A and B are shown apart, each in its own frame.
Chain A
């Protein structure tokens, strides 16, 4: 009896030190010991926060706002400084058939903007649009270095540009990528002393006689036509091209001195290689003005060159004149998904007469940059441009060349969707 008890005791004690006799039992034991006891299923604080933001569509809400009210940043002129303001934006009215946008912004350098837009984007089975737009701006720090291509960097001044515009535009997209549009409107302009503590006001340096529009400003009736063909793959293009022609007419309704027409031609071509991991982006753009007889182009409506969208080694609005030519070449390569590196070369000039549209007397700049991409768009562009006037550092929140259609080299660009 004692023997049996001892044997049973030995058997009973054995499992504590030994594995079970069969594989199935071994797995069963392991399951009993470990199953369900381990795991990091509890969300930690960071994951909870990310999950909450994701769940609540926080980014979407921030961009869409609360009941249509949201904060918007920037979108003044490049040297206006950080700008911020409220906007009421409704793009879901009548299921997206009507969009309304009303907003205002102010910058740390006292620039201000207010605008309102009513858009019908889905006319004719989404092939046509109609838009009403009005804008008021007060920009007290617009740089001016003097007229013409030979202006000097040291003579930087500032002036105040105040304007109000009222526009109506319409367009059709008869074929994929092809857009045709017309626009018309009224523009009120006013130029005053600059309000930039770093620079003197323009009128104290430049005589009004040599700078049309500095002393007297006008209201303009404006109208224009537009055609573009866009077959880029994405906004942050790696393939395809964008070709555009615009013709705008500005009729002076105040002094009958500043009526003119402007032709804008732009070509962008993107040449990919290495399976689109590399791309060479090319852009050529010219703005040519046609003055009416006995009329001149006011300086604040002249094409201008310099800045993050054209000659990146020069300051914003470094050169003003009646005509402009800009050419850019940029080599972009993927560093990792979401970040591209870029090497670029820019050339361009302003010139008084259209006959000077050639490659002589170009200004040059070159540099490097990085593009932070998300969903095939660039949301942050960092460029360092070098030129014979030193170097410039740019942070931009748009695609190369100023995004779709490019930001025109003028303070007055006709809006086309």
Chain B
């Protein structure tokens, strides 16, 4: 009987110790669990006006100010990297792959046969057309405003490629040039005209619609219509996602959106790309059907309001620099009679109609805001910013130049300006967020030593950071760090050995002793965790 009790106690101790373990045997994992079949899922609507009200005035979702906060991101592994999922994919693309983006040769609209117009968006400043090409593929054609040829279409393409390379799910955008006779109205196509009447579409409607869009301003395409063709996503749209909470009925949606690092970091990405319209209405959950298994994939959409574009016109100086409404700033503006002029209000914007209004000199990533707040953006912690900055800094100047070139801007000075803006804004992001934490990353074990990259120095954003190092043994159950006397070099201590149940930690401290990185090793052979602190 005593043996039995001992065995049972042993099992409980083992299981209990597993429960308390900081690192599990499979850490660091790389992806969330494979999506589960959720069957059919209803379409959900988000009203843009209510979304504004909800996010602006009620602050939904779990806030870092709530009891127990601040809340660390949850969609990450023990190295702080975002897990592959239906939200995000760590793509690590080559230069060519970055430039190609989500597009694939042969999937652009086929111009050898007329495109059949099957629907049209006639209201608004810039109309849109839904077409089916000769191969039967369905696209949405979006155009540039007459005042800004190439602006919105260029922004769509460039924005989508950069976001794709970063790891987000985005649609395929193709710039197309065509003449009027490329479009034919489909048989018995109904549409809602500019007078809000639902009626049969006629060829003349297309003509009237095209009067309101820009044409190619120069070159061999001069006079042709230029549009961006967005290939329909491979699944059924079930409505946008929110930047807080979870989607009811989606069995795979178990992490509150405000605690997803990829959505928190999307703020930094949006700041880089000046995507002031990064809100729910510009996202889409798509019900994928892969071999009979249905699950929701989460897409970002519509990048016509990135870069200098506000889709139907150039950005205003406010966009990206102030919320649509902000009590504090409004009070300041009111009480100072507008005599308090902020830096961004003094910014100089070169006149490039194809780019719109974007600059880098007054850009401050910490001050950048979208049109209205959302919980995921507000919950950003330094680790989230650091992750996003790291991703953005991986774009080389050459990557950016090549991606911008795919926007097919006919004014090469404008194109150069956009490259300059994106590279300078990228560097500001790196400098800002690498300085919030100890800027060390890419830890490796090589020849018995720990190596790392000083990101500030690596990207030439600052001087190398001077650090001190202390090795510890780490108790994976209690979380206790015990210093190893005299072990202060990058060389892994000789006593740091043993099996996979032994853990060690190298703690690097910067000139500011609050900034630390702790690197956790399992059995002195494998890096299993990173912890960055700034306090």
Contacts and interface: CB of A to CB of B under 8 A. Distances in A.
Contacts of A338: 324-325
Contact of B49 (A14, A24, A54, A60): A54
Interface in A311-354: 331, 333-339, 341, 343
Interface stretch (B110-118, B340-348, B435-443): B340-348
A60 B19 CA distance: 60
A10 B249 contact: no
A39 interface: yes
Contact of B50 (A23, A34, A51): A51
A51 B47 contact: yes
B330 A27 contact: no
A155 interface: no
A30 interface: yes
Contacts of B316: 275-276
Contacts of B49: 50, 54
Contacts of A19: 18-19
Contacts of A197: none
Contacts of B194: 92, 96
B11 interface: yes
Given A21-B18, A21-B24, A10 B8 contact: yes
A389 to B, nearest CB: 25
Contacts of B333: 333-336, 341
A26 interface: yes
B397 interface: no
A95 interface: yes
Contacts of B318: 277, 334, 337
Interface stretch (B26-34, B130-138, B179-187): B26-34
B445 interface: no
Contact of B248 (A2, A3, A37, A50): A37
A11 B44 contact: no
A150 interface: no
Given A21-B25, A275-B317, A36 B324 contact: no
A154 interface: no
B47 A50 contact: yes
B26 A23 contact: yes
B193 A335 contact: no
A34 B247 CA distance: 11
A153 interface: no
A338 to B, nearest CB: 7
A3 B4 contact: yes
A17 interface: yes
A278 B326 CA distance: 18
Interface string A42-74: 110011001100100100110010000000000
A22 interface: yes
A108 interface: no
Given A27-B32, A60-B196, A64-B195, A39 B47 contact: no
A38 B247 CA distance: 7
A335 B318 CA distance: 11
A36 B326 contact: no
B189 interface: no
B197 interface: yes
Contacts of A15: 15
A10 B47 contact: no
B325 A50 contact: no
Interface in B42-95: 44-45, 47-50, 60, 77-78
Given A31-B254, A47-B50, A61-B196, A38 B45 contact: no
B122 to A, nearest CB: 11
A27 B33 contact: yes
B245 interface: yes
A339 B318 CA distance: 13
B329 interface: yes
Given A14-B11, A274-B341, A36 B38 contact: yes
Contact of B15 (A14, A24, A34, A91): A14
Given A7-B7, A338-B325, A278 B338 contact: yes
B254 A23 contact: no
B245 A35 contact: no
A3 B338 contact: no
Contacts of A294: none
A35 B41 CA distance: 14
Given A95-B208, A275-B317, A39 B337 contact: no
B47 A54 contact: yes
A337 B325 contact: yes
Contacts of A6: 4-5, 7-8
Nearest to B75: A27
Given A22-B24, A31-B33, A333-B337, A277 B252 contact: no
A39 B345 contact: no
A35 B196 contact: no
A18 B15 contact: yes
B33 A28 contact: yes
B127 to A, nearest CB: 14
B221 interface: no
A99 B345 CA distance: 43
Interface in A205-263: none
Given A51-B45, A336-B330, A36 B50 contact: no
B452 to A, nearest CB: 24
Contact of A277 (B253, B337, B338): B338
B204 interface: yes
A24 B26 contact: yes
Q: Which of A6, A9, A20, A39 has the most CB of B within 10 A?
A: A39
Contacts of B15: 10-11, 14-15, 18
B457 interface: no
Given A18-B15, A96-B195, A275-B347, A47 B47 contact: yes
Interface in B105-155: none
B246 interface: yes
Contacts of B24: 21-23, 26
B334 interface: yes
A275 B325 contact: no
A284 to B, nearest CB: 24
Given A50-B50, A96-B195, A274-B345, A336 B12 contact: no
20 contacts: A2-B1, A3-B3, A17-B16, A17-B19, A19-B18, A21-B24, A26-B24, A31-B251, A31-B252, A33-B254, A35-B251, A43-B45, A47-B50, A64-B196, A275-B346, A275-B349, A277-B338, A277-B345, A333-B337, A341-B337
Interface of A: 2-3, 6-7, 9-11, 14-15, 17-24, 26-28, 30-31, 33-43, 46-47, 50-51, 54, 57, 60-61, 64, 91-92, 95-96, 274-278, 331, 333-339, 341, 343
Question: Which A-B residue pairs are the 6 nearest by beta carbons?
Answer: A333-B338, A18-B19, A39-B248, A275-B317, A92-B195, A3-B4
Given A6-B4, A334-B333, 4 more contacts: A11-B15, A26-B24, A27-B33, A95-B204
